[in-house]
Amino acid sequence: MNVLVLGAGQLARMMALAVKPLNITIRAFDVGSGKVVDPLASNIVFGSLEQGIEFADFITAEFEHIDHQTLALCQASGKLRPSSQAIKVGGDRRLEKQLLIKCGVANAEHSIIATKADFDQALNNLSLPLILKSALAGYDGKGQWRLKDKAQAAATWHDIKAFFDGGEQGVKHAVVAEQMVPFDREVSLVGARDSQGNTVVYPLTENHHTNGVLSVSIAREINQALQAQAKQMFDSIANELDYIGVLAIEFFQVGEQLLVNEIAPRVHNSGHWTQQGADTCQFENHIRAVCDLPLGSTELVRPSAMINILGEDHVPNEILQVASTTLHWYGKSKRAGRKMGHINVSGNSEQQLASRLTQLAEILPAATFDELNPYVTAYQQQLS
C-alpha cells in the first residue's frame, strides 16, 4: 500500500519508519520545493504533486498550514484523509472556534479581531489579561501577543496592524483574542478515528512549555474522570469533522474541568512518547486509520516521558546509559529553537520514571535544557 504525506518534515519521517514493517510505502510532498521526496532521504525525488497523487492509494498530512489549492487537488482525488476541511480547521483559529462552539465543547472566552473596532470591542467584552493569536500563522509561541494592561493597548494594536499589513497578498488575516485561563496544568489527548467511526485515545499527557514551545511531555497513570471528559470532547469533535486519522487536542485543566486550547489534525509532538510507551505508536495508528487497517492498542504500557531537543544537533552519548532511554534525531540542519529531535524515557512505575528523568537532567547540558531540572524536581515532589 502507498501513502503520500503532505509535508516532508519529521512527522512524515516518523510515519515512514513506523509503518515500514506493515509493508506500507510513504512518500512526502515537500511544500518548499514542490516535489515528492523520500521522507527518509529528501535528496531522492520522485516527481511532482500530480505524480505523487497518482502513486498513492491514500493521502494524508503532517501539518495543517497547507495552501488551499494543494488541498483542493488532493481532495478531488478522493484519497485525502482527513478531509481538506478538517485540515483547514486546524490551520485557522476562526474555523476552530466555530467548530468548538458547534460541538458544545468548553474553551476560553474569545473574540475575533480583524479591525481596530474589533480590537476595541474585545477590550470592552473580555477581561484582562488577554492572549492574542494569529488566526492563520501562529504556532510554537509565534504570531502571539499578551496584553496585561490597557496602557499597553495602543502598542499592541500597532504590532498587530503591522502583522496584518505584512501578511501574504490576498490572504485576509485576523487575530483571536482569548481571555487568559488561570489553569492548573496543560494536558493533551491524542486519539485516532477510522472511516467506520471507531475511536481510540491514548492517556492524557501532561505538558510543559518553555517560551511557548513544548519541552517535556509525561504520560502518567490515568485520572479516569478527566480521561472520560477528554474522550467525550474528542469524540464530539472527531465525529463532527467525520475525521479519519490521528487528531490531537490541547487542553487547559482548571480544577476538574478541561477547556480546549487548540486542536491539531495530525500526529502531535505531545504524542511522541507513544513510540516507547504504547503497543501501537501514534504514527502507526494514524496510517492504520488512513489505510482502513484495524486501530492498534492505545493503552499505556509503562509510564513514559518525551523531552524535546531544541536548537542542538548533539547531546551527550551518556544519556543512552540511562535504562529505557531512546534517542530520536530528525536529520535536520541546526538552527536556534528548531525541533531537532527528542528523547523518550520510560519506567515500570512513575517513581522509576522520575528517577530516570533525574538522571537525564543531570547529564543533559543545563544551558540547553535549563527548565528540565526544576520540572523534574516538581514531578518528584508530586509523587512523594
pLDDT in tens, 311-327: 999 999 999 999 999 99
**Residue 193 confidence class, pLDDT cut points 50, 70, 90:** very high
Backbone φ/ψ region at 286: left (φ over 0), alpha (ψ -120 to 50), beta: alpha
Q: Which CATH number fits domain 185-383: 3.30.470.20, 3.10.620.30, 3.40.50.150, 2.70.98.60?
A: 3.30.470.20
So what's the pLDDT on residue 138?
58
Given a cut of 60, whether residue 252 has pLDDT beyond it is yes
d(CA 106, CA 246): 21
d(CA 117, CA 292): 48
Mean pLDDT calculated for residue range 122-134: 94
User: Does residue 29 contact residue 49 with C-beta atoms inside 8 Å?
Assistant: yes
Every domain of the chain with CATH number 3.40.50.20 lies at 2-80
Beta bridge partners of 200: 192
- Across 160-199, b (16+ Cβ under 10 Å) vs e yields beebbeeeeeeeebbbbbbbbbebeebbbbbbbbbeeeeb
Mean pLDDT calculated for residue range 165-183: 82
d(CA 84, CA 7): 14
So what's the pLDDT on residue 164?
86
So what's the pLDDT on residue 24?
98
User: Does residue 319 contact residue 297 with C-beta atoms inside 8 Å?
Assistant: no
Every domain of the chain with CATH number 3.30.1490.20 lies at 109-179
Q: Which CATH number fits domain 2-80: 3.40.1390.10, 3.30.565.10, 3.40.50.20, 1.10.8.10?
A: 3.40.50.20
Note the CATH number of domain 109-179: 3.30.1490.20
| DSSP 8-state class, residue 308 | E
- Across 112-140, b (16+ Cβ under 10 Å) vs e yields ebeeeeebeebbeebeeebbbbbbbbbbb
So what's the pLDDT on residue 319?
98
Every domain of the chain with CATH number 3.30.470.20 lies at 185-383
**Phi and psi of 126, rounded to 5°?**
-110, 155
So what's the pLDDT on residue 115?
94
Indicate the average pLDDT of the chain.
94
d(CA 63, CA 264): 8
d(CA 305, CA 307): 7
Element (H, E) at 357: helix 350-363
Report residue 380 CA to chain centroid gap. 26
**Residue 92 confidence class, pLDDT cut points 50, 70, 90:** very high
The type of residue at 348 is N
Mean pLDDT calculated for residue range 137-159: 83
Given a cut of 60, whether residue 28 has pLDDT beyond it is yes
Q: Which cell numbers in the block locate residue 285?
A: 495508528
So what's the pLDDT on residue 157?
95
Please indicate whether residue 384 or residue 117 has the higher confidence score (pLDDT). Answer: 117
**Residue 143 confidence class, pLDDT cut points 50, 70, 90:** confident
d(CA 190, CA 201): 6
Given a cut of 80, whether residue 169 has pLDDT beyond it is no
So what's the pLDDT on residue 167?
67
Whole-structure pTM value: 0.95
User: Does residue 222 contact residue 204 with C-beta atoms inside 8 Å?
Assistant: yes
Element (H, E) at 47: strand 41-47
Cα–Cα distances (Å) from 214 to 22, 270, 338, 380, in that order, read 30, 8, 11, 20
So what's the pLDDT on residue 200?
98
User: Does residue 74 contact residue 80 with C-beta atoms inside 8 Å?
Assistant: yes
Tell whether the torsion through CA atoms of 242, 244, 250 and 255 is positive or negative.
positive
